[in-house]
Homo-oligomer: A and B are copies of this chain.
Amino acid sequence: MKVIVQQAAFDAGALVNTFTAAQAGMGAIVTFQGVVRGDGGLARMEIEHYPGMTERALTAIATEAAQRWSLGNVLVIHRHGSLAPGEVIMMVATAAPHRADAFAAADFLMDYLKSRAPFWKKEYAADGAAENATWVAAKDADEAALARWQGAGNV
């Protein structure tokens, strides 16, 4: 299990290949990448996080996934700082003997990461003015999504 929090861009494809090559006996690899959308004239976003707690929270979520499903490995990488539209914000990867576990675990990781890992996004419009920047509001749907996982997996 690996959890990485960094400001720098990462090569998602290279990470995926390394992750896949490191598995033994895993028939299924699922990845999710979150990408900055340029909707509504977004120029860039700033991602703030809580150093220390971020790594703890991501590790706890990954550990929970590994307890619920039969997984060979889990990778979580999440950026912070300034990101432009089209940039990859984060990625999760799961390896499992069977595809249902790999899919469910990746889906679970995303739902929990969104609502339980301490990241906050601030969006800057094209004029870049700080006074026009707005914090992204959490969606009720994101919190509601967690209820899907009550009793899911080997719990």
Which residues of A are interface residues toward B (Cβ below 8 A)? 11-17, 20-21, 23-39, 86, 88, 97, 99, 102-103, 106-107, 110
Chain B residues, Cβ within 8 Å of A29: 31-33, 35
B103 and A20 form a contact (CB under 8 A): no
Query: Would you call A27 and B32 a contact (CB within 8 A)?
Result: no
A20 touches B39 (CB 8 A): no
Instruction: Contact check, B37 vs A97: say whether CB atoms are below 8 A apart.
Output: yes
Q: For residue A29, which residue of chain B has the nearest CB? A: B33
Query: With A and B bound together, what is the CA distance between A14 and B13 in angstroms?
Result: 6
Are B16 and A39 in contact, CB atoms less than 8 angstroms apart?
no
Taking A12-B16, A16-B12 as contacts, is the C-beta distance between A99 and B34 under 8 angstroms? yes
Chain B residue with the shortest CB-CB distance to A114? B99
Cβ-closest chain B residue relative to A141: B100
| A-B interface, 9 closest residue pairs, ranked by CB to CB distance from nearest | A13-B13, A13-B17, A29-B33, A27-B37, A31-B31, A13-B16, A103-B107, A30-B32, A25-B37
Q: In the complex, which residue of chain B has the Cβ closest to the Cβ of A26?
A: B35
Contact A32 B39, beta carbon cutoff 8 Å: no
Instruction: Find the B residue at minimum CB distance from A102.
Output: B32
**With the chains together, A25 CA to B38 CA distance in Å?**
6
**B23 in contact with A27 (CB, 8 Å):** no
Q: How far is the CA of A142 from the CA of B16 in the complex (A)?
A: 26
On whether A31 and B28 interact (CB within 8 A), knowing A12-B17, A88-B20, A110-B99, the answer reads: no
Contact A11:B20 (CB < 8 A) given known A31-B30, A32-B103, A103-B106? no
